[in-house]
Amino acid sequence: MPLKFALAGNPNSGKTTLFNELTGSTAHVGNWPGVTIDRREGRYKGAGEEIDIVDLPGIYSLSPYTPEELIARNFIIEEKPDLIINIVDVTNLERNLYLTTQLLETDCPIIVALNMSDQLEKRKSYIDRAGLEMALGVPVVGISALRSRGTDELMKRAISTARKKRSGHTVLWHTQLDDAITKAYTHLLETGASHPLFKAVKIIEGDIHVAADDEMKRLRDDLKKEFDDLEATVADLRYKYITKHFSRCLKTTQNQNELSFSEKADKILTHKFLGIPIFLLFMYLIFHLTFGENLFSIEGVPSPGKLMQGGAEYLIDQLANIVSGLLESAGASDWTYGLLVDGIIGGVGAVLSFVPQIMLVFFFLSVLEDSGYIARAAFIMDRLLRRFGLSGRSFMPLLMGFGCSVPSILATRTLESDRDRRLTMILIPYMSCGAKMPIYALFAAALFKQHSDFMVFGMYVLGITTAVTSGIILKKFVFKDSVIPFIMELPDYHRPRLRNLLLHIWEKLKGYIIKAGTIILISTVVIWFLANFDITLKMVEQNSADSILGKIGNAIKFIFVPLGFVGKTDGWKSVVAILTGIIAKEAVVSTLGVLYTSAAQADIAGDTFIATIAATFTPVSALSFMAFNLLSIPCVAALSALTSEMKSTKWTLFSIAFWVTMAWIVSFLIYTIGSLLI
């Protein structure tokens, strides 16, 4: 029988690279945690031996939270490899050794492969290998899987290590848990369990996947009275041990007192108290520059965004004038005129006129992202969210939600448990996506004038606040689950590259234009028809309540009446706009564009549409309307992504019900409280 070795390590520590190097196979080398979820086996032929090598999934710990963790620990416990090659990414030594402390608790022979040593050299650092070997009690070899360095020595020492018996060791000896571990360990030894120390520690951590008899359960219950969070206590003890005994083996020849630029910047930008205000300030600044009426409140100096919006609006008005002029001279029918000018130009144009402004927001966000700041924002928010019992791992998908919900929902696949995944998916639409921005831009232009920047900023904050509140509620009543420790890497800051920025903006712009030319155009035409014909398909007076849409809107508007934005005369229009928002959020604006532009008004040059909106809504009812669109059901694209990712009709329906209820309550509160104040 050939020997069997398992490669274990954190995601992205280089397992697959080493696996390919050792086995010569061409397994895919990816960059995403979870790529190696399939079991991959290969054979190493060298040093006069044939060895089966298994590439385990990337894991941060041996707790049983994720499928990856379960696969890895079951393999180690049940398939009894002859040796574990524990790959450690030396550039993240402490985090990687956290897993090592758990692997050491098994009885399996272990060798530690310090990978990425080439990176370490670049940082003018090195590892005191002998010192680390002493501290860990297992062999340590420095390698670079990518540059094929040190792998021969690794395998030579691995083979001799595999032939020696080893029994588990834990860094938790001589801590306040010593007694408890001793009790559990001796008990498991007596019952003849395999890997008794590993199991003893797991039982104490509260791991339900390890069989515990009555005696063990009693021990654990006693401990629970003494420590309110055993798991956190254990994690903390591990990290303390690592920093005390292992970290000092990482030496650097760089001047310790000399902080790098990133470190200096992070002292302020990720400061415990200043971090969040600075983040909010950045966000406010972005909205000020794009939606603000006057630049820094200077009279007569418009903000860049306002200028761009004015320009776009002017161009679209010109286009409408040219087209209507042409149609008139060609003697076109009312019908054609209505469809082209009121329908298509009114609807699609309403969305397009806000696109330059929205591109500006994305430009600023890309600058923050490319410079490395967004990763800090995630870090700061994680610190905050954790206080509320939310998992920080959700933050990346949530952050992506500010762009578009669809990729964010797919990104939840990197999350740990199904519960976390579902919770995050429900919260994602609350991160105001790019498609919702035209709605704010419209009301900013129509109603909020001097306070536009603050209003848009407020909508984003409202979304985040609702997400946090919902998270707390759902966590308390629906997804009862403990928070999994989350560790994030912060890249160094660097100057944003213009090429990246332009590429990013171009991608977004392309997305908008394609959407405007397809789904929004089509929905606009459909809306125009439904708003101009009755059920017998007879043309009615433009946008009349007798039209099909008018009938539908009027039938269901009672639901929305308490929210304040259903006007007395043609209240069905805002209701219909909300419904079409499910097709695409931009369609809220294009629908309003169709319904509030009429043939009579089109002749009068200028912003009749925006003026009509200003006359129809009040600032408070507009806020309520925007909040409802922000918080209720996202667009169909997001819904279908959600349905396939939830993999459960029950949860999909729950999400929809939750969104609608939350949106209704929040809008109701905004309208009721707002009306009292103003």
145 binds, among Mg ion, ligand GDP, none (CB under 5 to 8 A by kind): ligand GDP
Comparison of 113 and 289: residue with beta carbon closer to ligand GDP? 113
144 binds, among Mg ion, ligand GDP, none (CB under 5 to 8 A by kind): ligand GDP
12 binds, among ligand GDP, Mg ion, none (CB under 5 to 8 A by kind): ligand GDP
Nearest-angstrom CA–CA distance, 443 and 69: 49
CB 580 within 8 A of CB 637: no
CB 32 within 8 A of CB 80: no
* Single-letter amino acid, residue 115: N
Nearest distance from C-beta of residue 326 to ligand GDP, angstroms = 57
Nearest-angstrom CA–CA distance, 85 and 82: 10
146 binds, among Mg ion, ligand GDP, none (CB under 5 to 8 A by kind): ligand GDP
* Single-letter amino acid, residue 631: L
CA dihedral (658, 661, 665, 666) in degrees, to 10, reads 50
| Selected binder of Mg ion within 10, 20, 36, 542 (CB under 5 A) | 36
Provide the binding-site residues for ligand GDP, judged by CB under 6 A: 9, 11-17, 29-31, 36, 58, 115-116, 118-119, 144-146
118 binds, among Mg ion, ligand GDP, none (CB under 5 to 8 A by kind): ligand GDP
Distance (Å) of CA 320 to CA 514, 524, 548, 609: 21, 16, 26, 12
Q: How far is CA 347 from the centre of its chain?
A: 32
Position of tokens 């007596």? Answer: 190
Nearest distance from C-beta of residue 112 to ligand GDP, angstroms = 14
Nearest distance from C-beta of residue 163 to Mg ion, angstroms = 28
Nearest-angstrom CA–CA distance, 631 and 430: 6
> Which residue number places its CB atom closest to Mg ion?
16
CA dihedral (591, 597, 598, 604) in degrees, to 10, reads -170
305 binds, among Mg ion, ligand GDP, none (CB under 5 to 8 A by kind): none
* Helix locations, 54-128, DSSP H: 67-78, 93-103, 117-122
Backbone angles phi, psi at 150, to 5 degrees: 80, 0
Comparison of 76 and 132: residue with beta carbon closer to Mg ion? 76
Comparison of 87 and 531: residue with beta carbon closer to ligand GDP? 87
Stretch that binds Mg ion, among 16-24, 494-502, 524-532, 548-556 (CB under 5 A): 16-24
Instruction: Tell me if 66 contacts Mg ion by CB under 5 A.
Output: no
Coil/strand/helix, residue 259 = coil
Half-sphere exposure of 70 (CA within 13 A, CB side): 10
Comparison of 30 and 606: residue with beta carbon closer to ligand GDP? 30
Comparison of 143 and 587: residue with beta carbon closer to ligand GDP? 143
Comparison of 19 and 617: residue with beta carbon closer to Mg ion? 19
Stretch that binds Mg ion, among 9-17, 233-241, 303-311, 545-553 (CB under 5 A): 9-17
Nearest-angstrom CA–CA distance, 86 and 8: 5
Comparison of 56 and 345: residue with beta carbon closer to ligand GDP? 56
Comparison of 16 and 23: residue with beta carbon closer to Mg ion? 16
Instruction: Tell me if 16 contacts Mg ion by CB under 5 A.
Output: yes
Stretch that binds Mg ion, among 32-40, 187-195, 344-352, 440-448 (CB under 5 A): 32-40
Written in H, E and C, the secondary structure of 421-451 is HHHHHHHHHHCCCHHHHHHHHHHHHHHHHHH
Beta strand extents in 429-572 (DSSP E only): none
652 binds, among Mg ion, ligand GDP, none (CB under 5 to 8 A by kind): none
Binding residues (CB under 5 A) for Mg ion: these are 15-16, 36
